Amino acid sequence: MTENDSAPTEPTPIKAVPLRHPGRWIAAAIIVALLALFVYGAATNPAYRWDIYWKYLFDSRIESGVLITLELTVLAMAIGVVLGMLLAVMRLSPNPVLRSVAWVYLWIFRGTPVYVQLVFWGLFPSLYKIIDLGVPFGPQLLHWNIQDWRTPFLFAMIGLGLNEAAYMAEIVRAGINSVGEGQREASTALGMSWGQTMRRTVLPQAMRVIIPPTGNELISMLKTTSLVTAIPLTTDVYGRARDIYAVNLQPIPLLLVAATWYLLVTSVLMVGQHYLERYFSRGATRQLTAKQLQALANAQMSEVGK
């Protein structure tokens, strides 16, 4: 065997020919054509009243309604997340009383429509005029006059938050259960307490499962605020649009104004959700970048050439 025969030879490079997908281009052309026809038809249809649309798109009443909608969304979601975490811990508790209470809560709030719940919260001052808390046959500790709470925003926030807590509880519980028992056992073996194990080991890994549905729930909460007319609360963006078109009798352009603002805010929330998911998914996959793959290929070629 000669020296040239023993020397490694580089493999013949493969000439990759990309597959052609004419069906994709045909489908894309059809979709674009249909979309263009729809946009043209909507733009030229006088029933849409685009002049009214542009007149009220940045109206001060609509903008104040957007602010109320955002405040209601954030506060109700905060109640839902905090209470949902508590309910999730109760569902996972070995105490049968806590598990039963959490199950009944979820059964009621997930089994009834949120609109019906909001109607009941709107009637709450009629159902309970005064609430007294204290020791039976003893001193009175707390006294609340519900008639002083005639604030639709407050009842809308409570109603939406309590309903959201039932769904967040299941999301958090699923996220905690997605972390293997071995992770907790390893943390306990290292001397971590239960709180340290949850904070340092379980929750950081569970967030990869919790964040995506939580972002979806936040977006859903923003749109669900349009149901607070059942309280009734009319200061949100949909309530403002409804009040305006009740006067000028132009519901279509005002509904388009409200839909535009909902779409704008949800788009911003979707971008934030994307970056949150990417942050918490670091290390979840071991896919190498193009630079890392090139460096690995060069290292392998060097080993072959030795």
Q: Where are the domains of the chain?
A: 55-131+142-280
Residue with the larger pLDDT of the pair 143 and 169? 169
Residue with the larger pLDDT of the pair 204 and 304? 204
Q: Per-residue confidence at 22, pLDDT binned at 50, 70, 90?
A: confident
Superfamily of domain 55-131+142-280 in CATH is: MetI-like (1.10.3720.10)
Distance from C-alpha of 231 to C-alpha of 162, rounded to nearest angstrom = 15
pTM confidence score: 0.77
Distance from C-alpha of 296 to C-alpha of 55, rounded to nearest angstrom = 60
Rg of the chain on CA atoms, in Å? 29
pLDDT at 29: 92
pLDDT at 139: 72
**Tens-digit pLDDT profile for residues 50-74:** 999 999 999 999 999 999 999 999 9
Q: Per-residue confidence at 232, pLDDT binned at 50, 70, 90?
A: confident
Residue with the larger pLDDT of the pair 257 and 147? 257
**Tens-digit pLDDT profile for residues 141-150:** 777 777 666 6
The answer to whether the beta carbons of residues 53 and 140 sit under 8 Å apart is no
Under 8 Å CB-to-CB from 92, ≥6 apart: which residues? 173, 176, 177
